[in-house]
């Protein structure tokens, strides 16, 4: 086992975390699910009763769980003797994992998938969690680098890896101020599977040893919509009929107003056009519903079992885990977090459903994927609500261009698949499968 010198950055980090405990607990207190006890945040999980070995995959929230779905299924298939425990920081992420668990039960598959909340990164909580879970392998998705959890894994002899490693330029600038701490944490990792050369270079600049980094591509390209999502999309599409339908997914505050304005302008040309509006965070569903009513447009809410009729202008997708289904039922898809300075969201989800992809200019978190779609002629970019409305009108007039964009998106996704296989091959070095 490699020795890691200079633990003082982690000690200072832990001291700061203890001092900030009231703020930390205030933040996570509302991230609660009735299926999980809050003591899990202190690493107080029940010791597994089954004798089967365990894998551990940590994803921050619902977006990461969705992006990790191909990896989750592949790990369960590749390590058939193991159970897989997925941890999340947020309640919405927990709900998404439970939805995957329910889908596996309905398909008659063994119950080898479990969920816990990740412990707060206090030294004691981290040690308790790792000791009780006793995983054979620990995986951290994208940028989930927790110094004390990594140290606890090293202490207990658990091999660790970051998969789909992502570090945006903006995040890098922030982490660079904490380089001694990051270098200490990254030095604990056995392997980092970066999604691009740029991400790999930024991790190297923070102190990740070059010999333990491989560029494997983005796991997001390995997303394959399941049969249930495809069938649900077809049913919804049949119900909606031939009217113009566009979806705005993963939207944020300050963005919904612009989207509703663009939709109002679109309806001047297409009075029966329907917007399927899907806010990113469920705690905002009610507020977005009220905002829509205030705009004067007729609303139907999916969570209430309401179906949009010809008079409905906005269909609120206020349910969890159905974004792919809603994307697949639309003629055009706008991916949110891109008209406000959030950095965008997963552009490949609508592309994988065969739906043309529209985005705003704020794409810092998905710059490499945006560039790949751009080069493949599969991305439509707009500057603001006015240009969005004009673009929607143009595309609804041009069925051939919509078809071309959809086919181009599918081609980009297909051409860039392969990160999943490379990731599994890399993990074999840490834990042989089968």
Report pLDDT digits (tens) over 72-83: 999 999 999 999
Note whether 41 and 387 are within 8 A (CB): no
Q: Diameter of the chain by CA atoms?
A: 67
Is the per-residue pLDDT at 305 higher than 60? Answer: yes
**6: confidence class by pLDDT, cuts 50, 70, 90:** low
**107: confidence class by pLDDT, cuts 50, 70, 90:** confident
User: By three-state DSSP, how is residue 370 classified?
Assistant: helix
Domains of the chain as residue ranges with CATH: 8-217+418-428 (3.40.50.11720), 227-415 (3.40.50.2000)
**323: confidence class by pLDDT, cuts 50, 70, 90:** very high
Is the per-residue pLDDT at 205 higher than 70? Answer: yes
Q: Which pLDDT does position 4 carry in this prediction? A: 44
Residue percentage of the chain with pLDDT more than 70:
98
**226: confidence class by pLDDT, cuts 50, 70, 90:** confident
Is the per-residue pLDDT at 45 higher than 60? Answer: yes
Is the per-residue pLDDT at 2 higher than 50? Answer: no
Across the range 360-373, mean pLDDT stands at 94
CA–CA gap between residue 424 and residue 161 (Å, rounded): 11
Q: Which pLDDT does position 46 carry in this prediction? A: 86
Who contacts 30 (Cβ-Cβ below 8 Å, separation ≥6)?
A: none
Count CA within 13 A, CB hemisphere, residue 251.
27
Catalytic residue set: 64
Is the per-residue pLDDT at 168 higher than 50? Answer: yes
Q: Which pLDDT does position 365 carry in this prediction? A: 87
Which residue, 295, 290, 294, is CA-closest to 264? 295
Q: Which pLDDT does position 24 carry in this prediction? A: 87
Who contacts 87 (Cβ-Cβ below 8 Å, separation ≥6)?
A: 56, 57, 58, 59, 115, 116, 117, 118
Tally of helices (H runs) and strands (E runs) in the chain: 18, 14
Is the per-residue pLDDT at 86 higher than 80? Answer: yes
Strands (E), 238-294: 245-251, 274-279
**343: confidence class by pLDDT, cuts 50, 70, 90:** very high
Q: Which pLDDT does position 191 carry in this prediction? A: 98
**289: confidence class by pLDDT, cuts 50, 70, 90:** very high
Is the per-residue pLDDT at 1 higher than 70? Answer: no
Which residue, 108, 118, 114, 129, is CA-closest to 87? 118
- The first and second tokens of residue 33, run together, are 């699910």
Across the range 401-410, mean pLDDT stands at 98
Note whether 197 and 219 are within 8 A (CB): no
**401: confidence class by pLDDT, cuts 50, 70, 90:** very high
Compute the mean pLDDT over every residue in the chain, rounded to the nearest whole number.
94
């Amino acid at each position: 086992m490699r020795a890691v010198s200079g633990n003082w950055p982690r000690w200072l980090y832990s001291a700061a975390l203890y001092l900030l405990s009231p703020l930390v607990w205030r933040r996570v207190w509302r991230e609660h699910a009735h299926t999980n006890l809050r003591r899990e945040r202190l690493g107080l999980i029940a010791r597994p009763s089954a004798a089967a070995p365990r894998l551990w995959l940590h994803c921050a929230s619902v977006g990461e769980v969705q992006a990790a779905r191909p990896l989750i299924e592949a790990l369960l298939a590749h390590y058939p003797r193991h159970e897989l425990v997925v941890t999340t920081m947020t309640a919405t992420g927990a709900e998404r994992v439970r939805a995957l668990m329910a889908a596996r039960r309905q398909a008659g598959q063994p119950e080898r998938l479990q969920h816990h909340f990740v412990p707060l990164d206090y030294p004691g909580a981290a040690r308790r969690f790792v000791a009780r879970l006793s995983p054979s392998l620990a995986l951290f998705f994208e940028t989930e680098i927790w110094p004390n959890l990594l140290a606890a894994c090293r202490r207990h002899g658990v091999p660790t890896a970051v998969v789909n490693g992502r570090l945006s330029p903006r995040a890098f600038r922030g982490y660079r101020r904490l380089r001694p701490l990051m270098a200490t944490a990254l030095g604990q990792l056995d392997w980092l599977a970066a999604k691009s050369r740029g991400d790999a270079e930024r991790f190297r600049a923070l102190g990740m040893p070059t010999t333990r980094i491989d560029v494997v591509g983005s796991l997001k390209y390995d997303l394959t919509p399941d049969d249930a999502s495809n069938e649900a999309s077809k049913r919804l599409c049949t119900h909606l009929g031939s009217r113009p339908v566009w979806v705005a997914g993963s939207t944020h505050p300050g963005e919904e107003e612009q989207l509703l304005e663009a939709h109002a302008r679109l309806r001047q040309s297409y009075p029966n056009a329907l917007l399927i509006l899907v806010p990113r965070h469920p705690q905002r569903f009610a507020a977005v519903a009220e905002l829509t009513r205030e705009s004067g447009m007729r609303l139907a809410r999916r969570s209430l079992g309401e179906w949009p009729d010809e008079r409905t202008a906005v269909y609120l997708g206020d349910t969890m885990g159905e974004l792919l289904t809603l994307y697949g039922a639309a003629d055009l898809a706008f991916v949110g977090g891109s008209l406000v300075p959030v950095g965008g969201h997963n552009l490949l989800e609508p592309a994988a459903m065969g739906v043309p992809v529209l985005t705003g200019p704020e794409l810092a978190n998905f710059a490499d994927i945006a560039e790949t779609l751009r080069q493949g002629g599969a991305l439509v970019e707009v500057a603001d609500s006015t240009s969005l409305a004009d673009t929607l009108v143009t595309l609804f007039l041009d069925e051939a261009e919509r078809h071309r964009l959809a086919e181009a998106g599918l081609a980009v996704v297909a051409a860039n698949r392969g990160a999943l296989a490379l990731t599994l091959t890399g993990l074999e070095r840490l834990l042989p499968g089968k």
